[in-house]
Amino acid sequence: MENVFYFLASLTLLCALMVVLSKNPVHSIIFLIITFFTISAHYILLNAQFLAAVNIIVYAGAIMVLFLFVIMFLSVGKNDHDPKASAVTRITGTIAGGLLFIVMFAALKDAHVGTYDAENFNSQIGMVENLGKVLFTKYLLPFELASVLFLVAMVGAVMLGKKETGERHF
Amino acid sequence: MESVDLIYKGIFILVIFGITLLIATYSTYFERKIAAFIQDRVGPNRAGPFGLLQPLADAGKLFFKEEFIPAKANKALFIIGPGIAMLVATMSSAVIPFGDMLIVGGREIWLQAIDVNIGVLYVFGIVSLGVYGLMIGGWASNNKFSLLGAIRAASQNISYELAMGLSLIAVLMMTGSLSLREIAEQQQGFNWNIWYQPLGFIIFLVCAFAETNRTPFDLPESEAELIGGYHTEYGSMKLGMYLFAEYINIFVVSAVMSTLYFGAYNFPFMENLRSAISDPVLANNVVTLVGVAVMFAKIFAFIFFFMWVRWTLPRFRYDQLMKLGWQILIPLAILNMVLTGGAILLKDSLF
């Protein structure tokens, strides 16, 4: 099992790196999709099948399709176009990356791997039934608030996309 | 899991894979025969008896055509596109229960490749991935018409996925399980979900037509009035893969509809047949085998329905298609959900 984890983890990191390193934005998106798949595989290793499926449906199935949509529209016809980055961009990029590295280092310096109680560990905790029970009892208020947030976002999108009076699309 | 079980599962998955491909192959033949029947023609009758070898002849022709990759196309993605379409299409039949349990030599054999407790979500996730094959292929062709075709296909699939998911929720509320086998088991005998969910089934059926790009929703292709769609630049077997993936999708969606709404392998008077045979093992096996036959009969009936509609109805205009999806089907699906919830509460408080 450990070997599977190491294989998956290295695959995830490799794909995530390729998202950043790819010259072509469409390739970046495809690597991001593969990254979501490997993350779902991690969820399955943790016996959280519901999260794995929902991760695929929501991220790989819906959000990335919209990403692909936008990128395809924007970058059509200039596939091999690679503008040279200016000196200022490079310097700021290096500084920002270095700062992020310092923050990560500082955060991980004192971190230690948490232990778990193998005796009392409930392997069924990630199943749909248990997840649903926890969401609708213990975390009911945050859950409802999150759904209200989604509703507000949806109404906002409809407001922005609504036809003005007298405007015609067809 | 024992190694015998593993070997059995491997064989079963291969068999399901083979059956899927076989049914998809002969769907092309029956499509042409049914089209001929509806239009009062003869249809393919040259290759073999009754033209039964026609699909093989078609495949041979496609394989020997010139492999053509347009200049300036994104070569890798252009080749991967049909592969993704095919891969995604063949994946979802893994969780469909084609039958109940067989008892062979004291060993229980379940006629389902894998039983996951999130079966419905698995199918739904795979369906939502189906769009990538088309989009990547359409974009990689480096042709504006292909790109427009791919965008047409993608926006249609995304729009109808929503209504499909919402109509599914009503079924899940009734059964209280995401496992396709449990959903099938609860429809014992003639207690099918269609009697409780007629509206949900109609919504699901319409969305299934849209998801598989079949007439009256075949705007992604619409070969007669628009440029071919996402596969404009494709030829030879790569085009064949796209078309083949469509037939596999029809088979899979027919199987899903039979499982969710038409009782999967259950048939009326199932228990009477079981009690008529005295030996319990034999009775179980006979009932299971009849159940498999019934399941495939249901699937074939749905495939025939898909073809019947294709050669009967004209296609929608694109704005009408979007309007149907967003303004009619989604509100109807939500209404169906509310009604189902109310009915469940009413039943709980009354009985």
Domain boundary among A81, A113, A134: A81
Residue A114: the pLDDT is 77
pLDDT score of B30:
92
For B97-158, give the secondary structure using H, E and C. Answer: CCCCEEEECCEEEECCCCCCCCHHHHHHHHHHHHHHHHHHHHHHCCCHHHHHHHHHHHHHHH
Query: Where does the pLDDT of residue A170 fall: very low under 50, low under 70, confident under 90, or very high at 90 and above?
Result: low
Cβ neighbours of A33 in B, within 8 Å: 132
* Contacts with A69 from chain B: Cβ below 8 Å: 135, 151, 154-155
In what helix (H) or strand (E) does residue A57 lie, and over which residues does it extend? none
Q: Shortest Cα distance from B157 to chain A (angstroms)?
A: 10
Is residue A124 over pLDDT 90? Answer: no
Residues A5 and A75 both lie in one domain: yes
Task: Give ipTM to 2 decimals.
Answer: 0.84
Residue A46 is assigned to a structural domain of this protein: yes
Q: Taking all residues of chain B, what is their mean pLDDT, rounded to a whole number?
A: 89
Q: Which of A17-26, A78-87, B73-82 has the lowest mean pLDDT?
A: A78-87
Residues of A in contact with B161 (CB under 8 A): 61-62
Does B154 lie at the interface with A, CB-CB under 8 angstroms?
Answer: yes
Q: Do A72 and B319 touch (CB under 8 A)?
A: no
Q: Does the pLDDT of residue A169 top 70, yes or no? A: no
Could you report the per-residue pLDDT of A68-102, keeping only the tens digit for each?
888 887 765 454 555 667 888 889 999 999 999 99
> What's the token pair of residue B211?
């998801």
- Please, which pLDDT band fits residue B117 given cuts at 50, 70 and 90? confident
Token digits for B329?
A: 């089907």
Q: Quote the pLDDT of residue B145.
A: 86
* Domain locations in chain B as residue ranges: 3-350
Residues of B in contact with A24 (CB under 8 A): 74
> Comparing C-alpha atoms, which of B207, B234, B206, B210 is closest to residue B220?
B210
Among B25-39, B199-213, B276-290, which stretch is predicted with the lowest mean pLDDT?
Answer: B276-290
Q: How far is B74 from chain A (nearest CA, A)?
A: 9
Is residue A58 predicted with pLDDT exceeding 80? yes
A130: contact with B, CB 8 A cutoff: no
DSSP label at B223? T
| A3 and A66 together in one domain | yes
Q: Tell me: pLDDT of A151 over 90.
A: yes
A96 in a structural domain: no
Q: Name every chain B residue with its beta carbon within 8 A of the beta carbon of A79.
A: 72, 74, 142
Containing structural domain, residue A146: 124-164
Average pLDDT of span B302-322: 90
Residues of A in contact with B129 (CB under 8 A): 56, 60-61
Q: What is the pLDDT of residue B1?
A: 60
DSSP state of B64: H
Flag whether A54 is in a domain. Answer: yes
Instruction: Inform me whether the pLDDT recorded for A15 exceeds 60.
Output: yes
Cis geometry, peptide bond prior to residue B216 (ω within 30 degrees of 0): yes
Q: Does A70 touch chain B (CB under 8 A)?
A: no
A50 in contact with B, Cβ within 8 Å? yes
pLDDT interval class at B336 (50, 70, 90): very high
Residue A140 confidence (pLDDT): 94
Instruction: Tell me which residue has tokens 């899991």.
Output: B1
Residues of chain B with C-beta less than 8 angstroms from the C-beta of A126:
none
Is B121 within 8 Å of A30 when comparing Cβ atoms? no
Please report the pLDDT score of residue B167 as a whole number: 92
Q: Which residues contact A37 (CB under 8 A, 6 or more apart)?
A: A56, A60
pLDDT band at B345 (very low <50, low <70, confident <90, very high): very high
Average pLDDT over residues B122-131: 88
Contact between A130 and A136 under an 8 Å Cβ cutoff? The reply is: no
* Any domain includes A69: yes
Interface check for B121 against chain A (CB to CB < 8 A): the answer is yes
What's the mean pLDDT in B105-113? 82
Q: What is the mean pLDDT of chain A?
A: 86
Domain count, chain A: 2
Query: Is residue A151, in this structure, part of any structural domain at all?
Result: yes
Question: Closest approach of chain B CAs to the CA of A112, in angstroms?
Answer: 34
pLDDT score of A11 more than 90: yes
Sequence-separated (6 or more) residues with CB below 8 Å from residue B115 = B95, B97, B179, B180, B181
Tell me which of B340 and B224 has the higher pLDDT. B340
Answer whether A56 sits within 8 Å of B178, measured CB to CB: no
What's the confidence (pLDDT) of residue B224? Answer: 67
Q: Is the CB of residue B147 less than 8 Å away from at least one CB of chain A?
A: yes
- The answer to whether position A135 is within a domain reads yes
A76: CATH: 1.20.120.1200
Q: Kindly state the average pLDDT of the residues A20-34.
A: 89
Kindly state whether residues A59 and A130 are assigned to the same domain: no
- The pLDDT confidence band at residue B20, using thresholds 50, 70 and 90, is very high
pLDDT average, residue stretch B312-325:
88
